[in-house]
Amino acid sequence: MASAKSGSKRRSSKRPTKSARKTRKHVFLFSRDGADGGRDDKNLLGGKGANLAEMCNLGLPVPAGFTISTEVCRWFTAHDKTYPKSLSAEVDAAMRGLEKAMGKRFGDAENPLLVSVRSGARVSMPGMMDTVLNLGLNDVTVEGLATRSGNARFAWDAYRRFVQMYGDVVLGVKPREGEEVDPFHAALDALKKKRGVATDSDLDADDLRGLVATFKRIVKERTRRTFPDDPGEQLWGAIGAVFSSWNNERAIAYRQMNGIPGSWGTAVSVVAMVFGNTGATSGTGVAFTRDPATGEKRFYGEYLMNAQGEDVVAGIRTPMPIDRLAKSSPQAWKELQRIQKLLERHYRDMQDLEFTIEDGTLFMLQCRVGKRTGFAAVRIAVDMVKERLITRNEALLRVEPEALNQLLQPVFDPKEKARAKREGRVLTVGLNAGPGAATGRIVFNTKRAEERAKKGDPVILVRVETSPEDIRGMQASQGILTARGGMTSHAALVARQMGKTCVAGAGALDVDYAKRVLTVGGASLREGDWLSLDGSTGEVIEGKLETRPSEVIARLFGRKRASTKKSAIFDAYSKIMRWADQARSLKIRTNADQPDQCRTAIGFGAEGIGLCRTEHMFFDGEKIDAVREMILSESTAERERALAKLLPLQRKDFEGIFREMGTRPVTIRTLDPPLHEFLPHDDKDVRALAKEMGVPVERVRAKIEALHEQNPMLGHRGCRLGITYPEITRMQARAIFEAACRVAKRTGTKPRPEVMIPLICTARELELQAREVRAVAEDVFAKAKLRIPYLLGTMIEFPRAALIAGDLAAHADFFSFGTNDLTQTTFGISRDDAGKFIPLYVEQEIFEADPFARLDTAGTGRLMDIACREGRGARADLKLGICGEHGGDPSSIRFCHELGLEYVSCSPYRVPIARLAAAQAALSAGK
Amino acid sequence: MASAKSGSKRRSSKRPTKSARKTRKHVFLFSRDGADGGRDDKNLLGGKGANLAEMCNLGLPVPAGFTISTEVCRWFTAHDKTYPKSLSAEVDAAMRGLEKAMGKRFGDAENPLLVSVRSGARVSMPGMMDTVLNLGLNDVTVEGLATRSGNARFAWDAYRRFVQMYGDVVLGVKPREGEEVDPFHAALDALKKKRGVATDSDLDADDLRGLVATFKRIVKERTRRTFPDDPGEQLWGAIGAVFSSWNNERAIAYRQMNGIPGSWGTAVSVVAMVFGNTGATSGTGVAFTRDPATGEKRFYGEYLMNAQGEDVVAGIRTPMPIDRLAKSSPQAWKELQRIQKLLERHYRDMQDLEFTIEDGTLFMLQCRVGKRTGFAAVRIAVDMVKERLITRNEALLRVEPEALNQLLQPVFDPKEKARAKREGRVLTVGLNAGPGAATGRIVFNTKRAEERAKKGDPVILVRVETSPEDIRGMQASQGILTARGGMTSHAALVARQMGKTCVAGAGALDVDYAKRVLTVGGASLREGDWLSLDGSTGEVIEGKLETRPSEVIARLFGRKRASTKKSAIFDAYSKIMRWADQARSLKIRTNADQPDQCRTAIGFGAEGIGLCRTEHMFFDGEKIDAVREMILSESTAERERALAKLLPLQRKDFEGIFREMGTRPVTIRTLDPPLHEFLPHDDKDVRALAKEMGVPVERVRAKIEALHEQNPMLGHRGCRLGITYPEITRMQARAIFEAACRVAKRTGTKPRPEVMIPLICTARELELQAREVRAVAEDVFAKAKLRIPYLLGTMIEFPRAALIAGDLAAHADFFSFGTNDLTQTTFGISRDDAGKFIPLYVEQEIFEADPFARLDTAGTGRLMDIACREGRGARADLKLGICGEHGGDPSSIRFCHELGLEYVSCSPYRVPIARLAAAQAALSAGK
């Protein structure tokens, strides 16, 4: 409701185009004589209205109509479902114009004008809002339609459809509890059964006339209202219903998922009906100017003769491939070919078209830039450059960086997935947190996930939420499913870095660790049962679905390298990436802490590591024992003994990474998370640990208790640990520099370590930690008789660090913005707990977008700007980068480009996305 | 160690005074001929060295000596206990000067010069560091001393004392495990036993000679080193020991407790010995120019004839009141009178003096501004104005605002407390979080605390830590004791607001809720046992100690109003407060949410409420039931029903407050804490609640589980609740405005409500919440046919709010800085978890002070400055205030004055402190 109110309040800020604003009108006509407005008026007329107007301006055959603007929707929502005073007269006038254009009259007994009433928002929200067709029919006009068309069955079928649709959409006749279908469908089925026929088209005019009467009786029974016969009353009912549908549950949910503000509103287009179902020379269809799935340059689509649009969608009759139209309706086909080519040239992009053929005459009902898969987006962009339709830079700007995801992720066989859907095996839909497709056996904890994976079983790790101690389990799994947490929860973040499929925050799940059972809706799945996750859609599917690596991955990482067969998609991907690298100035690094992640990232084009989290290594194998021993130490001496055990293990980790990265820079962050994350939490594990360490259980328990924190995010972690226990920092520094020296000696190539101190909030912290690191470096270099050039810098992840950047720069060679924590503290919002209100906040336009997904420029961004300016002011050669999750987000990358950062760093699988986004940022700079 | 290193690095920034810097010397002489440096050189010479120099400059009788600067201490610590090259020559030269001034020679067999080697930091750290007396004695010089003094017993006693002190301090001879006293004392006691005498003074010269030999043998045995005979070696050993003592555990702990940086270092003063123990005409004493306890203008102190300084302290002989000296040593008394008056006039403040009389001649050994109680501070300041020694403004600047605390808090009978100490009943010392004295029976939870209090038992609530659900228990208690949490923990914060005694973070406590037992050290106390807390010192004392309200409280709040007896302290307090009110420009409000707190605050001079926390009321009586019902609601309708029950209860709360506050402004914050704080957490209470509410236990458990947050500080709370459940905000607004209308009608006085929205981080949040509040206000006013002028504003408590202050100002009449949360998020530090590292951070100068106690100007303060400038830029009449805990901290109040805030708000008992601090801020402005 608040969002609705906001509409009226905010209206003043949404400016219609000049012409519209001047006249201050609410209703915009379009017809073959031209139109008010055009393609640029989407905000006011919605996408559908704007493009209908544009087609009219191009002189294309469009049934006349008019669009009621989105401003009216905002008024309607804010004023208790009423309209601006002048609207009624405007609509009346528009109807007169429409009648004139079509040569028919609304409500006329002889030659009645019928209309459709359609929704259309600024961006397409397919199927979310309502539409009413065939409006204007009543017991009188139906006879006129029958006479004029010479087809009584058609007329009564149109009437029957109208009553059904109006009854549902406007009058709210829905299935009651216990009813499987709505009463209209039930009556239709009953009649077919009675007549012993299989399809609707086997019913004759009289059957349909009887059905209209039945339908009207149903309306009366269910709504205690008589079905309106007056076409004017019908029209206003439909307009109100379409405006109301902007705020139906479906639409709100869709907006929340897609970050569309509630204040945008929908337009309503009232369009003269043309009929594809008047007989054998009529038909209707949808088409794309290129293949939306592959991007291949071929006119693609399907149609049905003697049908209305809804029949194409409903799937009762099987539509025909579009090219058959050349035979069945050659004139219309020729015209359609002319139009589709014209529209693609005009819009300079692939178009999605809807058309109807009425008695051999083609009418265009809609055109819009066609949605496409990532594959198609890349291929179309590259092809259009070849065709000289667009420039390389335009091609780069044309591909949504996120779309590249699809090219990289494993895929389910589409047929298998469709079958699973039909069989009702889609259990729930969570957040599409880590794209890809994964199938495996359910396991509820890390240890068992590893065990099963070792045996060769594919595993899906299912957790209420994950924590760093689940890292190995996640690594061992094909996919991760969590019941809690958002798009930037631990599970989502780590999964994306690992390139793992992840569905997060699937709230409908009920996970019982003790019984090892997962319940969702009615279904119960046990550990070991098969489960499949579609990380691109968030679908959680019961059972096993086959997956395979994508074409691009297969080519990039060698399995198909030998193949000489040309791959259109791989060629297009390679071209776009090459062009992007030429266009961008930002460097792209990756967040990685394992050699295999390094290899992947380099394959994707990473130019260095922007964030290597040393603590991830701590969970690995025997390291965790030494880490726990360190934590349980009660004196510095004890701690140093435990650290001495860790040193060779950490050194080996770094050696592996340095080898992979060669001369690329490697930014290594010293220990960051609070120590309690490394200790077990359930009683059994605590006992086992105590036994293993040979210390009393009570001591372990006491330590866990002592380390407990109210707000661990703001607790004793990061450099605060390094200050309290400088011996930890020293051990890590020693591991880094010894590893660098060894690799340099063995390979002849000097690694480029960059040591990064986390969670700094005062210059003195950095000074003290830097002193420890530098002293160790000198010691190692002296012993190795070798110097490795290195940088020492700090993360900027608390507001205070940004505010004292000038002081920090005195001790730092570089800053790296840790925008996850910086956003958390700037907003005072914990990522882990934000899921409860962020979707609502986006819907109500409190946030433009989830600030953990897209950098907030006014707050977090302002702090970054302060830090950049004052840091550089104090030290001109200060290097600046970003290693928060935002480093992989296109809109945030643009902001980083504007700040003049040297690089962004993101998870390996996002490197191609970042490369493209960086190119787009460079191309759009200053715009 | 890090702190030590920092010394050398930071040295450059600590500038000695001009003259000292010019010469770049390390050693500064003082004698009757004058001195290098004076009272302003405390940073370089330490307090003791600077004042000895000053007394020399005044021509007072001071034994000659020299001071080695604090810079040498920093060098010493940073360079592995070595000295700057030039030091040795400088010390040699100074010794020559000293010999000349005293007419004796160091190490001379005939007329040996003896010296004391003393520590002296910038601020007094009594007893924390080491001192060596009588240095320069060996088997040769002792004979010279004996001959010269004609007193062999004295000489050997001095020698014996020297070996003992040097052995302990420099050579490290301490009691071994199992030994009750050190071996020197043991040997002394053994000898006395052997001789059959009671006191040291009954031992003769031969006994003492034998004891010296025994002591040297002990040194040899314990240290494997021969006791050094060479006076030069003795001297350097002592200098090194004193410098080292800067970093002994005691000193570090003291510095952490008092926020003294480790880098300051100590100076070492080497002073020629004069002896108060050469016979009946000698003596030694300490004195204050006024009574340090009451402030009464009388020369106050005590002395011992024939004694060394340590004897006065040791308490073996009972010292005499100072005025007896007039008889026992009239010449010295006369001189002392002259000097004490001169020094008080010279320093224009009460002085603390040490002196020695050697054979009838007076020597001054130390003078410094005397420490005093809060009572004395106030009275002395006021008296000195009367005496025209200082101005009113100087008087205002002279009283430490915190000192006023003592005037307001209940007190223990000092004699009873001394006895408790003697009896070893002081169990531990925690943080002095809520000043005052409290005694009562131990209770471990809120419910039982209330029950016992109802029966009339005084109660001490003991918790590991407190949470908002303990509020009623705290209210019912005399004092609160917690094992965890710092000076700004929940317990501390609420206790101070309530004016309750509180000792927080007493880490030595072990609290077992299940067994209802408190263990500390060896002692176990059960629920119901008596316990006493001294909130001014942090002492936790076993048993019952009597308390009484302070004189000022008794007079302010009427119990003694009838009394016509003049009260010096109350008069002085009233005067200082009146002068403060005349001097300050900041207004002082209070944080209060109960009528009785309002009354108290007004009594203390509060001019309004700056923060009324509505959630505190929620815990009260039947309200908590309705609150829980609201939280357990599963629909808006259910929630509204629960809120309807809450409405009259909240309204009544506000009525009570408005009545008390009259026309003073009352800032009311809408609901702030996360909802889970209102639900019970242990299983029994959960069951009880479910039964009471008539809902399944599972539903309550599920709700608690659903409300659980990783980082509640950054979770779903504040306006985020108001956005999600606008009906809560509406209920609270209705309660506020209906209460205001009722009070206006009944009393004829219109209250001045100011509605404050918490945790804002976007302008839209404020816009939406403001719309709800304003709509309710209009509705209430229309129904009441009465308008109450009110303000609507926001807290600024997240960095983002400060950064978008310009946008917020469009929707706000005022900003109130919530600096607790703002500090937390600016630093990324949770108050609740910070206790683990903040003391270390202060010691290592990472923080200048605990940022939760004193506003950090570079970070938090910079954000406040941005918010003030940009807020006022957008709206010139924007009102600005602060309601965080910093509002009661003098140094933070000064910063608020500089920002130009309209008011500060603090807990009722801090109002007088804030009044004085605000006056000091106004007087120091621009300095």
Residue A244's nearest CA partner among A11, A43, A12, A4 is A4
Q: Which residues pair with B288 in a beta bridge?
A: B300, B352
More confident residue, B796 or B624: B796
- A837-857 per-residue burial string, b: 16 or more CB within 10 A, e: under 16: bbbbbbbbbbbbbbbbbbbbb
More confident residue, B299 or A547: B299
Place B468 in a pLDDT band, splitting at 50, 70 and 90: low
Q: Which residues contact A621 (CB under 8 A, 6 or more apart)?
A: none
pLDDT (average), residues A354-365: 94
Please give the pLDDT value at position B499: 66
A858 vs B799: CB contact, 8 Å cut-off? no
Report yes or no: A3 at the B interface, CB cutoff 8 Å. no
d(CA B262, CA A162): 86
Please give the pLDDT value at position B19: 45
For B318, other C-beta atoms within 10 Å of its C-beta total 7
Please give the pLDDT value at position B489: 67
Indicate the angle between helix axes A763-784 and A726-747, nearest 10 degrees: 40
Place A496 in a pLDDT band, splitting at 50, 70 and 90: low
pLDDT digits (tens, 9 = 90+) for B541-551: 999 998 888 88
- Amino acid (1-letter code) at residue A31: S
Whether pLDDT at B237 is above 70: yes
Place B504 in a pLDDT band, splitting at 50, 70 and 90: confident
Chain A environment of B5 (Cβ under 8 Å): 771
- Amino acid (1-letter code) at residue A392: R
Please give the pLDDT value at position B562: 47
Kindly state the percentage of chain A with pLDDT values over 90: 66
Residue A273's nearest CA partner among A124, A131, A129, A91 is A131
Report yes or no: B817 at the A interface, CB cutoff 8 Å. no
Whether pLDDT at B6 is above 60: no
How close does chain A come to B818, measured CA to CA in Å? 13
Please give the pLDDT value at position B1: 33
Range from A204-208, A252-256, B522-526, B627-631 that averages highest in pLDDT: A204-208
Range from B254-263, B647-656, B697-706 that averages highest in pLDDT: B647-656
Please give the pLDDT value at position A563: 57
A723 vs B844: CB contact, 8 Å cut-off? yes
pLDDT averaged over every residue in chain B: 90
Place B433 in a pLDDT band, splitting at 50, 70 and 90: confident
Please give the pLDDT value at position A252: 82
Q: What is the complex's ipTM, to 2 decimals?
A: 0.76
Question: Which sign does the torsion angle of CA B761, B762, B767, B768 carry?
Answer: negative
Place B257 in a pLDDT band, splitting at 50, 70 and 90: low
d(CA B659, CA B752): 11
Could you say which of B712, B836, B859 has the minimum Cβ distance to residue A804? B859
CA A634 to each of CA A637, A639, A641, A725: distance values in angstroms, whole numbers, following the listed order = 8, 7, 11, 12
For B426, other C-beta atoms within 10 Å of its C-beta total 17
**Both tokens of residue A607?**
């130019």
B800 vs A713: CB contact, 8 Å cut-off? no
More confident residue, B242 or A22: B242
Place A16 in a pLDDT band, splitting at 50, 70 and 90: very low
Residue B782's nearest CA partner among B743, B733, B819, B738 is B738
Please give the pLDDT value at position A617: 81
How close does chain A come to B674, measured CA to CA in Å? 11
What number of CA atoms fall less than 13 Å from residue A77's CA on the CB side?
28
How close does chain A come to B37, measured CA to CA in Å? 32
Residue B623's nearest CA partner among B636, B614, B611 is B614
Place B467 in a pLDDT band, splitting at 50, 70 and 90: confident
Q: What's the CA dihedral at A375, A380, A381, A386 to 10 degrees?
A: 130
Question: Which sign does the torsion angle of CA A866, A871, A874, A876 carry?
Answer: negative
Chain B environment of A826 (Cβ under 8 Å): 761, 798-800, 803, 825
A799 vs B765: CB contact, 8 Å cut-off? no
Report yes or no: B2 at the A interface, CB cutoff 8 Å. yes
Please give the pLDDT value at position A313: 52
Report yes or no: B768 at the A interface, CB cutoff 8 Å. yes
- Say if CB A583 and CB A635 are below 8 A apart: no
- Say if CB B101 and CB B31 are below 8 A apart: yes
Residue A27's nearest CA partner among A91, A120, A70 is A91
Q: Which residues contact B744 (CB under 8 A, 6 or more apart)?
A: B750, B751, B786, B788
Report yes or no: B862 at the A interface, CB cutoff 8 Å. yes
Please give the pLDDT value at position B536: 76
Whether pLDDT at B214 is above 60: yes
A768 vs B826: CB contact, 8 Å cut-off? no
pLDDT (average), residues A670-677: 92
Please give the pLDDT value at position A5: 36
Place B920 in a pLDDT band, splitting at 50, 70 and 90: very high
Could you say which of A764, A821, A825 has the minimum Cβ distance to residue B845? A764
Indicate the angle between helix axes A152-169 and A183-195, nearest 10 degrees: 150
B714 vs A830: CB contact, 8 Å cut-off? yes
Q: What is the DSSP string of A815-852?
A: EEE-HHHHHHHHHT--GGGGGGTHHHHHHTTSSSS-TT
pLDDT averaged over every residue in chain A: 90
A828 vs B5: CB contact, 8 Å cut-off? no
Whether pLDDT at B388 is above 90: yes
Place A10 in a pLDDT band, splitting at 50, 70 and 90: very low
pLDDT digits (tens, 9 = 90+) for B332-352: 999 999 999 999 999 999 999
How close does chain A come to B809, measured CA to CA in Å? 15
> Which of B3, B803, B820, B821 would you mutate first to test chain A, the one with the most A CBs within 10 A?
B803
> Which of A3, A761, A845 would you mutate first to test chain B, the one with the most B CBs within 10 A?
A761
What residues of B act catalytically? 490, 883
CA B483 to each of CA A236, A384, A537, B491, B505: distance values in angstroms, whole numbers, following the listed order = 70, 71, 50, 10, 5
Among A5-19, A175-189, B767-781, the least confident range = A5-19
How close does chain B come to A914, measured CA to CA in Å? 27
pLDDT digits (tens, 9 = 90+) for B620-636: 777 888 889 889 888 88
Whether pLDDT at B680 is above 90: no
Q: Which residues contact B217 (CB under 8 A, 6 or more apart)?
A: none
Whether pLDDT at A493 is above 60: yes
pLDDT (average), residues A823-843: 89
Please give the pLDDT value at position B689: 86
d(CA A379, CA A426): 31
Number of helices (H), then strands (E), in chain A: 39, 34
Report yes or no: B659 at the A interface, CB cutoff 8 Å. no
CB contacts < 8 A (A, B) = 181
d(CA A910, CA A588): 10
Chain centre to alpha carbon of residue A72? 29
Whether pLDDT at B18 is above 60: no
Chain A environment of B858 (Cβ under 8 Å): 800, 803-804, 807
d(CA A19, CA B748): 58
Among A804-808, B5-9, B483-487, the least confident range = B5-9
Helical residues (DSSP H) of B682-762, grouped into ranges: 683-693, 697-707, 719-724, 726-747
pLDDT (average), residues A699-718: 90
d(CA B797, CA A825): 11
Could you say which of A723, A836, A846 has the minimum Cβ distance to residue B762? A846
The length of chain A is 927
H, E, C per residue of B405-467: HHHHCCEECHHHHHHHHHCCCEEEECEEEECCEEEEEEECCHHHHHHHHHCCCCEEEEECCCC
Please give the pLDDT value at position B605: 96
For A218, other C-beta atoms within 10 Å of its C-beta total 21
Residue whose pair of structure tokens reads 């009972």 in the numeric block: B318
Place B317 in a pLDDT band, splitting at 50, 70 and 90: low
Helical residues (DSSP H) of B529-664, grouped into ranges: 551-556, 568-583, 595-603, 614-618, 623-632, 636-661
How close does chain B come to A714, measured CA to CA in Å? 4
Please give the pLDDT value at position B313: 52
Among A206-215, A551-560, B267-276, B435-444, the least confident range = A551-560
Report yes or no: A713 at the B interface, CB cutoff 8 Å. yes
Residue whose pair of structure tokens reads 């004791």 in the numeric block: B481
Kindly state the percentage of chain B with pLDDT values over 70: 94
What residues of A act catalytically? 490, 883
d(CA B52, CA A93): 102
Q: Which residues contact B434 (CB under 8 A, 6 or more apart)?
A: B479, B480, B492, B495, B496, B499, B500, B501, B502, B503, B504, B535
**Both tokens of residue A894?**
């643009």
d(CA B505, CA B483): 5
A826 vs B860: CB contact, 8 Å cut-off? no
- Say if CB B312 and CB B302 are below 8 A apart: yes
Whether pLDDT at B854 is above 50: yes
Residue B382's nearest CA partner among B517, B138, B569 is B569
Please give the pLDDT value at position B843: 78
d(CA B827, CA B854): 13
Whether pLDDT at B731 is above 50: yes
B826 vs A715: CB contact, 8 Å cut-off? no
Please give the pLDDT value at position A489: 66
| C-alpha triplet A906, A911, A917: angle, nearest 5° | 95
CA B560 to each of CA B405, B557, B606: distance values in angstroms, whole numbers, following the listed order = 20, 8, 22
Whether pLDDT at A13 is above 50: no
More confident residue, A578 or B693: A578
| C-alpha triplet B238, B240, B245: angle, nearest 5° | 95
Residue whose pair of structure tokens reads 């980068």 in the numeric block: A881
pLDDT (average), residues A494-513: 82
